[in-house]
Structure 1
Amino acid sequence: MTIKPTFASQISFDIGSLPTDLHIGGQWVEGSTGKRIDVIDPSTGAVITSVADAGIDDAMAAVAAAHRAGPAWAATAPRKRSEILRRCFELMIERKDMLAELISLENGKALSDAQGEVAYAAEFFRWFSEEAVRLNGEIATAPSGANRIVVQQQPIGVAVLVTPWNFPAAMATRKIGPALAAGCTCVLKPATETPLTAYALAALYAEAGVPDGVVNVITTSRSGAAVSAMLHDPRVRKLSFTGSTEVGRKLLHEAADTVISCSMELGGNAPFIVFDDADLDAAIEGAMIAKMRNGGEACTAANRFYVQEGIAEAFSVKLSERMGAMKVGPGYDRATQCGPLINRDAVERVSGLVDEAVSRGATLRTGGRQQSGDGFYFPPTVISNVAADAAITREEIFGPIAAITTFGTEDEVIAAANDTEYGLIAYVYTRDLGRGFRVSERLESGMIGLNRGLASDPAAPFGGVKQSGLGREGAHHGILEFCETKYIAVNW
């Protein structure tokens, strides 16, 4: 059932035309529970529509469909798989405006951010369409000379893909692209906060020529039970998860029961380090991207700002001016620069982090107060003089808040930056390239933005160290996550 939305005048497509049922084996099905899940517009708090609520039987049906489709897809010529993936890319670009509006509608992010996400998400299909025909093996002579060593990369099998709400298109294509390129079939379980993008893309994949059963999509209000059931099915051989470290730990425990290969892209607590010799204007521009992309609701978002003492006040003033001037409003309003958070709980959480930091002596520079009215808004906020052990420095913020701390020496800031269980990405600004590389090598992080506020690229390996994850997505590394390495000892 679709409730007529209050935002209809700002959306160019018919919401009633969107698919909202489970996509299993190439068919749209209501699901065995007969229940529905409401999808909320964070900009207004209104119900957009509802989607099917899958039960355990539906999850098993999706696994079965993927398993049935597996042999034929694995046997499909790499060039054919490549062409289908390329067509997925082309269709996403053709429909980029509609997809961006849809993302803004169900996620709340500013339309400009949503447009950037669509371009980024589509690029995974173009990149992995090219990787599909370059999945090379190896051949060598054994050191003894007794035989040849032949190494092949084969598809790992049925993959369960679990994605979050903050990038509903990109987190899916970053997994589906390499899975299909490698010859795997999959079951995608998107977040129930943002399922509409996943279903719209499922229809697009079918139009592009993806065979029935190769990509299955299910939404469920019982995520833990459904994913657990799939992970305990012997036909499933891969789990690729993007989400919180807390949930990732639980899934690793579940996957251990059947020794499933796991790729984990988990939480982050990114330090943003600015040395005295940095280009201040460049550092501010980078900070705005690293902090405010997607309104701060990103695992790559700058979480802890460490600014050297000589430049700290100037940096704090400029960043406060820029963030304080941002226009807050509905994501799909073209004038909006910062949309709402995903839900009311997110607003309460970030508000609590700011209040706790201020109560312990931090200075509120701009923002910091919840906004009244409909929707889930929190203004861009800057706080300085943050205590080293404040909760906001220990937890992933996931909101538009920049917490600034000063530092004196290089060793001091590296120790502070590494003092976390996370290690996804770090940002460093300095004109001294020697220092930049030296600090980058000492930071315990899977990725570094050196004089850049954006590091994500489909052609680069995305992933973290410590409790920020396992494995890599993107680059050639991404397709290998969906492969088994087979060694053949042969004489000829």
Structure 2
Amino acid sequence: MPSETSVVASVAKELFIGGKWTGATGGKTFEVRDPATGEVLCQVADASPADGVAALDAAVAAQKSWANHPPRERGEILRRAYEQLMARVDELALLMTLEMGKPLAEARGEIAYAAEFFRWFAEEAVRIDGGYATAPNGTGRFLVAKQPVGPALLITPWNFPMAMGTRKIGPAVAAGCTMVIKPAAQTPLSMLALAQILADAGLPEGVLNVLTTTNSGGVMEPLIRDGRARKLSFTGSTAVGRKLLEQCAEKVVNTSMELGGNAPFLVFEDADLDAAVDGAMQAKMRNIGEACTAANRFYVQRGVAEEFARRMTERMAAQPIGRGTEDGVIVGPLIDEAAVTKVSGLVDDAKQRGARVLTGGSVVEGPGNFYQPTVLADVPTDARMANEEIFGPVAPISVFDTEDEALELANDTEYGLVSYLYTSDVKRALRVAERLEAGMIGLNQGIVSNPAAPFGGVKQSGLGREGGTVGIEEFLETKYIAVAL
């Protein structure tokens, strides 16, 4: 395992524009901190609006030649980047743990997951298809072509700093789109490392441009309103997504939005309870609960509710807490102080409304942004955490009696990203899965994410899909050519 100092030192700390590393205008920088200790890891270039324009200029200049680049070669670039990611798992995982906090084992898992998007879209690059058909009246032909949508703006969150990048960059590269990507200010190092990996893999200058900045709106809004970028792909909160959609409306920019979630986790009396608890731990505690797919509300049928809560409490109470680089740690720190304050506030609100704390329920004293793994029982439907993303290691449990009641509770939200369902009844499984208002369903499993499957939500959880055979479509336009014979 490389040292922490050497891993941080190995990453460029500048902006990546037009294939060159460059400082921000005026030399401005910002601090990147270790959320487990609060210590400063390094200083990174803080892009200005002028830097943003320079990045877009580079992407626009490279678009024509990149769109004409042979699909096979685009795929080979992604394949080489995949191989580099897999060869450097330990180094990149440590970098991620230092800037984001997740335990090393999870960070290694994310690097492998991130790499799979490159492998998947390397294969999709040569499978962009079109069509040829006879007009119904027989007098002409229809040709259908798929072409790159054009320069794309990509905005990624801090919770999966490598995978959210590859999930967007992979299909954009495969489709022939140039990009300007802005990672979250809390976790810029993983994206900067990824930019160098892609450059080393042969990605031409100007195809990928990276802006690190603390002024997200000031830098990105002018690029959205500029009109030359023809695609925006955003992963983040629904509140920010709404603002970005308003900005995109002016120039009718093509958008993909992967927004917030409020995932219900349903456990019926006929479920395999051991499997349900295992799935609940996966769905709740992956990434310390800081995931849009995290189970946010646990609804358990009355006959097994007490036993499920007992087992869940036992499992949550036994989770080792600490810095993600330490052996055996499962629960790392939350991303920053604001995250701790939010989680603490949601728990306090639920307690005031009558919820019972079965384990946890408090901030961990000392350095770092830690919160105890927490299980709450009897959480009322008017509690804030029943309607807001918790984004932390808190499992609120409520009881239901009937299937209809469970569905009413599960669907009573503006969000619709993912829902989880545990039952041994095949008919019930299909009935409930079809009635759940979500873009993804975890049926007797606690993890749904897979690069080969479409990822996305309904209602206010987003627009479009990432991954799977449809993921590349988000970066393609359909052109119809009418031919008279």
TM-score bin, normalised by smaller chain: over 0.9
SS at match of 1:338: coil
Partner of 1:70: 63
Partner of 2:338: 345
Counterpart-to-counterpart distance in 1, 2:473 and 2:303: 46
Report Cα offsets for 1:201-242 as digits up to 9, x if no partner: 100000011111101100111111111111012210000000
- Say whether the 8 Å CA contact 1:13–1:98 is kept in structure 2: no
Which residue identity does 2:248 align to in structure 1? A
Report Cα offsets for 1:273-331 as digits up to 9, x if no partner: 00000000000110010000000000000000000000000000000100110000001
Q: How far is 1:337 from its partner?
A: 0.3
Partner of 1:464: 457
Does residue 198 in structure 1 map to residue 198 in structure 2? no
- Say whether the 8 Å CA contact 2:7–2:95 is kept in structure 1: no
Which residue identity does 2:304 align to in structure 1? I
Counterpart-to-counterpart distance in 1, 2:177 and 2:469: 16
SS at match of 1:98: helix
Q: Superposition RMSD on alpha carbons, in Å?
A: 1.1
Which residue of the other structure, out of 381, 392, 413, is the alignment partner of 2:406? 413
- Say whether the 8 Å CA contact 1:33–1:53 is kept in structure 2: no
Counterpart-to-counterpart distance in 2, 1:429 and 1:391: 25
Does residue 155 in structure 1 map to residue 139 in structure 2? no
- Say whether the 8 Å CA contact 2:333–2:371 is kept in structure 1: yes
Partner of 1:113: 106
Partner of 1:175: 168
- Say whether the 8 Å CA contact 2:7–2:91 is kept in structure 1: no
Counterpart-to-counterpart distance in 2, 1:230 and 1:405: 45
Which residue of the other structure, out of 174, 194, 209, is the alignment partner of 1:216? 209
Q: How far is 1:33 from its partner?
A: 3.4
Q: How far is 1:12 from its partner?
A: 7.4
Report Cα offsets for 1:103-144 as digits up to 9, x if no partner: 111000111111111111000000000000000101111111
Counterpart-to-counterpart distance in 2, 1:368 and 1:9: 36
Which residue of the other structure, out of 344, 360, 364, is the alignment partner of 1:367? 360
Does residue 448 in structure 1 map to residue 444 in structure 2? no
Which residue identity does 2:90 align to in structure 1? D
Partner of 2:294: 301
Aligned residue pairs: how many? 485
Counterpart-to-counterpart distance in 1, 2:460 and 2:371: 28
Which residue of the other structure, out of 120, 125, 129, is the alignment partner of 2:118? 125
Which residue identity does 2:387 align to in structure 1? R
Which residue of the other structure, out of 75, 82, 88, is the alignment partner of 1:89? 82
Does residue 32 in structure 1 map to residue 25 in structure 2? yes
Which residue identity does 1:437 align to in structure 2? L
Does residue 383 in structure 1 map to residue 376 in structure 2? yes
SS at match of 2:26: coil
Counterpart-to-counterpart distance in 2, 1:154 and 1:307: 48
Alignment map for 1:420-439 (pairs within 5 Å): 420-439=413-432
> CA 1:199/1:9 → structure 2, altered by over 3 Å: closer, same or farther?
closer
Q: How far is 1:34 from its partner?
A: 1.8
- Say whether the 8 Å CA contact 1:43–1:375 is kept in structure 2: yes
Partner of 1:482: 475
Report Cα offsets for 1:1-35 as digits up to 9, x if no partner: xxxxxxx9963734222111000001000011321
Counterpart-to-counterpart distance in 2, 1:313 and 1:408: 13
Counterpart-to-counterpart distance in 1, 2:3 and 2:65: 43
* Uncovered stretches (5+) of structure 1, i.e. residues with no partner: 1-7
Counterpart-to-counterpart distance in 1, 2:9 and 2:95: 12
SS at match of 1:476: coil
Does residue 239 in structure 1 map to residue 239 in structure 2? no
SS at match of 1:431: coil
Partner of 1:56: 49
SS at match of 2:457: coil
Identity %: 58
Report Cα offsets for 1:331-365 as digits up to 9, x if no partner: 12232101000001110110111111111111100
Which residue of the other structure, out of 159, 167, 175, is the alignment partner of 1:166? 159
Does residue 15 in structure 1 map to residue 8 in structure 2? yes
Which residue of the other structure, out of 72, 77, 102, is the alignment partner of 2:95? 102
- Say whether the 8 Å CA contact 1:81–1:181 is kept in structure 2: yes
Which residue identity does 1:475 align to in structure 2? G
Which residue identity does 1:102 align to in structure 2? L
Partner of 1:258: 251
Counterpart-to-counterpart distance in 2, 1:485 and 1:59: 29
Counterpart-to-counterpart distance in 1, 2:363 and 2:93: 27
- Say whether the 8 Å CA contact 1:10–1:333 is kept in structure 2: no
Which residue identity does 1:93 align to in structure 2? M
Counterpart-to-counterpart distance in 2, 1:370 and 1:193: 21
SS at match of 2:55: helix
* Uncovered stretches (5+) of structure 2, i.e. residues with no partner: none
- Say whether the 8 Å CA contact 1:276–1:430 is kept in structure 2: yes
Report Cα offsets for 1:252-288 as digits up to 9, x if no partner: 0000011000000000000000000000000011001
- Say whether the 8 Å CA contact 1:11–1:332 is kept in structure 2: no
Counterpart-to-counterpart distance in 1, 2:7 and 2:273: 46
Counterpart-to-counterpart distance in 1, 2:60 and 2:3: 42
Greater mean deviation of Cα atoms: 260-269 or 385-394: 385-394
Partner of 1:5: none
SS at match of 1:250: helix
Partner of 1:310: 303
